[in-house]
Amino acid sequence: MAMESTTIRFAKEEREWIQSFADFSGKTFSDVVRESVLERIEDAADLQAYEEAMRDDDGVRIPFSEVLAKYGTLS
């Protein structure tokens, strides 16, 4: 995948803190920032999906034993 360059401004202390974490993790500064942003977006999408599922929840629950009886074991 081709990468594009983007400018993000950080306070000096923030940049040093991120760079220290990158060094500790054996990653580049860009990798740390990219992974952090993508994880934040994924978490937000997961939360949205959860909230939608909870709104649509009809309250019906099926015991696990019934699921196993109907579909078999998890092997």
What pTM did the predictor assign?
A: 0.72
Instruction: Give the Cα separation of 3 and 46 in Å (integer).
Output: 25
Q: Kindly list the distances between the CA atom of residue 50 and the CA atoms of 20, 59, 60, 67, in Å, as whole numbers in the listed order.
A: 34, 15, 17, 22
Residue 33's Cβ-count burial label (10 Å; 0-12, 13-18, 19+) is middle
Give the start-to-end residue ranges of the domains of the chain: 12-71
The DSSP line for 51-62 is: HHHHHH------
Kindly report, residue by residue over 9-51, the tens digit of the pLDDT: 999 999 999 999 999 999 999 999 999 999 999 999 999 999 9
